[in-house]
Amino acid sequence: MDATPSASGRFGRSSCLLALVSLVGVPYSVLMPIFATTVFRGGPHTLGFLMTSSGCGALVGALWLAHATVGYRSRRLIVIASASFGAGLIGFSFARTLWLAIPCLVVAGFGFMVQMAASNTIIQTIVDDEKRGRVMSFYMMAFLGTAPFGSLIAGWMSSRIGAPHTLLVGGVGCFWLALPGSPRSCPRFA
């Protein structure tokens, strides 16, 4: 029996982890206005700094992944990127000064971009040419289809327990999903 996972199994695990991270982690962006005004006592400029720092991390992640010579197709890279995304969100949830929050968001943006782009790369490389369009539509549904539900849940949770605690729960969820021994609905990657 072949010990390597099948292409459909690898596709399913990549999509499942991406969908779960999109559900619990991506809604951090809808909570940014609350952090800018309530936690950091700022306004539009503070929100701009927060969103720019996340975008800079994503840009660095995309450039790094484009120039990576080894490991960019590794499933372990997806898991490590998911964990770094979660760690960045956890750090940001505890930050009470803008200058501590900016590096945390750079790490979160880096981790999320690497996880998303590496998942896309693996999925497109293992799928047959005649099925690529259907598979990519499923990938986009896993990524973009779960984020609005996560935003709805994050908005509800933030009204109950506050935005920092909601983001802490999301970050711990992303980090926990990436742990190799954690029981979760996605099979283990590594």
User: pLDDT tens for residues 79-99?
Assistant: 889 999 999 999 999 999 999
Low-confidence stretches of the chain (pLDDT beneath 70): 1-14, 69-73, 180-190
How confident is the model at residue 113, as a pLDDT?
94
pTM score, whole prediction: 0.84
How confident is the model at residue 13, as a pLDDT?
61
How confident is the model at residue 4, as a pLDDT?
44
DSSP states along 90-151: HHHHH--SHHHHHHHHHHHHHHHHHHHHHHHHHHHHHS-GGGHHHHHHHHHHHHHTTHHHHH
Torsion, Cα of 24, 66, 141, 135 (10° steps): -140
CATH C-level class of 12-178: mainly alpha
Distance CA 115, CA 13 (A): 13
Distance CA 85, CA 175 (A): 7
How confident is the model at residue 184, as a pLDDT?
47
CB 71 within 8 A of CB 58: no
DSSP 38: I
| Alpha carbon 111 to chain centroid, angstroms | 7
Burial class of 140 by CB neighbour count within 10 A (0 to 12, 13 to 18, 19+): exposed
